[in-house]
């Protein structure tokens, strides 16, 4: 009882989640026996000693360079040329831009921060309410860590020994479905909310012009995915080359990067990476304590005691992930629960890639749900809007994305269509 009390108590006091998890894990190891504390440093470093983890800071760095250099502005213009002419056009453009942006950063918070600074003010100026503009941005932001390159996919694939390329491929269709269903929500509520209609109609000339401007930015995700899914490069190698590409385009072609920019980019990348790696290292200790105390087996037995029906247990797992995601950081949740749930889902006959993408998508949805949804707080900080006001506008989008999640969970052939198509 001491470990969960310490964990939730420290979390309630507002300590950073990485420190909270680490302290709880140390208490657990001391509770087993003081001599086990000597194992803590070794466990922490062992948890980080995985080569695929090198891909994370590289992808984060590439995304930061693209954002700071202004290359991604072309993607926003291209999205606007494609769907901006519709009623609620700027909201539709926000969603399409999120898909394009996802292939560069793989980060929901980066998407929320970038669009919170650019698209939200533009939408407000165009006649949208600020809470609604923030809600649309939050709903689209989770496409980032769903469509590859996805940080969560790298973490899950590394700790569970599942093909990262397979997880990347499996995330493509769910990410596109999220975009489609959210655009459906916008279309269905456009007249009721009296959303502004874009000027003019669809223009092939405008699309071509915007494509020329955003071509170099659009080429990066194509290169990343093509090299990984085609088997020409590992995720780590592709991430390193993506950094070199972003530096070349931003520094040589656009000439929009200064030494001061590079310093800020380096600091921000180090900060983001450091937080993630601290959580991973700390969660390794807590995960070991859980394994020692047979917590995974207890959770599996509890779920199977409710029902042995495959579909009921899958539904319970989805509900568990969504509920835990309401109050806990998704990186920590993934590292702690993945080793717990993966064996159970294997017993249910789920493919490892299918199980992984279901877990990842459920946790991604948690990024926009109160009370600790990271994207909500990023948007509230950037735009000055209240979290409560954004959350009120978000519920239709959350419901739509949960429907996509259930489709991913129960329709295995749909989820694995792209991986199987690519032979992964």
Tell me the pLDDT tens digit for each residue of 163-218: 888 898 899 999 999 999 999 999 898 888 888 876 666 667 777 877 776 677 77
Helix or strand holding residue 295 (H, E): helix 295-306
Question: Which is higher by pLDDT, 419 or 63?
Answer: 419
Sketch the domain layout of the chain as residue ranges. 2-421
- The predicted model gives 45-58 an average pLDDT of 74
With a threshold of 0.85, does the pTM exceed it?
Answer: no
Query: Which two tokens mark 121?
Result: 């003010």
Tell me the pLDDT tens digit for each residue of 229-244: 777 777 778 888 888 8
Give me the pLDDT at residue 358, please: 93
**Positive or negative CA dihedral for 43, 49, 52, 56?**
positive
Tell me the pLDDT tens digit for each residue of 258-314: 888 889 888 888 887 887 788 778 777 777 777 777 776 677 777 777 777 888 989
Q: How many CB atoms lie within 10 A of CB 219?
A: 13
Give me the pLDDT at residue 75, please: 72
**Positive or negative CA dihedral for 404, 406, 409, 410?**
negative
Is the confidence at residue 105, as pLDDT, over 70?
no
The values of phi and psi at residue 269, to 5°, are -65, -45
Choose the weakest-confidence range: 1-15, 84-98, 202-216: 202-216
* Residue 407: band (very low, low, confident or very high) from pLDDT cuts 50, 70, 90: very high
| Residues sharing a CB contact under 8 Å with residue 153, sequence separation 6 or more, in sequence order | 145, 164, 167, 168, 171, 356, 357, 360
Choose the weakest-confidence range: 100-109, 353-362, 413-422: 100-109
* Residue 69: band (very low, low, confident or very high) from pLDDT cuts 50, 70, 90: confident
Give me the pLDDT at residue 202, please: 66
* Rg of the chain (C-alpha set): 21
The values of phi and psi at residue 239, to 5°, are -65, -40
Q: Is 268 exposed, middle or buried (0-12, 13-18, 19+ CB in 10 A)?
A: middle
Tell me the pLDDT tens digit for each residue of 255-270: 878 888 889 888 888 8
Give me the pLDDT at residue 410, please: 92
Q: How does DSSP classify residue 107?
A: -
Q: What is the mean pLDDT of the chain?
A: 81
Q: Name the H helices within 203-258.
A: 204-229, 235-248
* Cα 212 off chain centre by: 28
Give me the pLDDT at residue 90, please: 84
């Amino acid at each position: 009882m001491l470990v969960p009390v310490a964990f939730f108590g420290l979390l309630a006091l507002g300590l950073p989640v990485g420190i909270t998890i680490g302290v709880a894990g140390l208490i657990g190891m001391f509770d087993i026996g003081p001599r086990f504390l000597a194992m803590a440093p070794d466990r922490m470093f062992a948890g980080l000693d995985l080569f695929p983890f090198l891909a994370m800071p590289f992808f984060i760095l590439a995304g930061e360079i693209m954002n700071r250099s202004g290359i991604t502005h072309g993607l926003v213009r291209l999205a606007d040329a494609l769907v901006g002419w519709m009623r609620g056009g700027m909201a539709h453009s926000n969603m399409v831009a999120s898909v394009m942006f996802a292939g560069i950063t793989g980060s929901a918070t980066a998407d929320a921060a970038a669009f919170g600074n650019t698209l939200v003010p533009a939408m407000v100026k165009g006649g949208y309410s600020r809470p609604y503009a923030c809600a649309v941005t939050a709903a689209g932001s989770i496409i980032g860590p769903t469509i590859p390159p996805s940080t969560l996919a790298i973490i899950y694939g590394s700790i569970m020994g599942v093909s990262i390329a397979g997880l990347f491929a499996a995330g493509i269709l769910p990410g596109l479905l999220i975009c489609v269903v959210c655009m459906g929500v916008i279309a269905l509520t456009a007249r009721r909310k009296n959303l502004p209609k874009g000027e003019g109609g669809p223009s092939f000339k405008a699309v071509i012009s915007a494509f020329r401007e955003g071509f170099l930015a659009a080429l990066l995700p194509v290169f990343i995915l093509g090299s990984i899914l085609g088997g020409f490069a590992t995720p780590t190698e592709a991430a390193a080359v993506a950094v070199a590409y972003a530096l070349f385009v931003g520094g040589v072609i656009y000439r929009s990067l200064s030494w001061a920019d590079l310093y800020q980019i380096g600091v921000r990348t180090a900060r983001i990476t450091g937080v993630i790696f601290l959580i991973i290292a700390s969660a390794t200790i807590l995960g070991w304590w859980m394994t020692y105390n047979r917590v995974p087996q207890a959770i599996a037995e509890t779920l199977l005691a409710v029902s042995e029906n495959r579909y009921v247990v899958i539904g319970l797992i989805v509900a568990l992930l969504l509920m835990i995601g309401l109050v806990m950081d998704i990186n920590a949740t993934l590292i702690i629960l993945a080793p717990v749930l993966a064996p159970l889902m294997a017993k249910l006959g789920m493919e490892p890639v299918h199980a992984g993408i279901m877990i990842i998508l459920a946790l991604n949805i948690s990024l926009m749900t109160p009370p600790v949804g990271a994207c909500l707080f990023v948007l509230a900080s950037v735009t000055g809007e209240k979290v409560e006001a954004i959350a009120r506008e978000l519920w239709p989008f959350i419901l739509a994305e949960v429907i996509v999640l259930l489709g991913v969970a129960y329709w295995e052939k749909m989820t694995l269509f792209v991986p199987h198509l690519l032979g992964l």
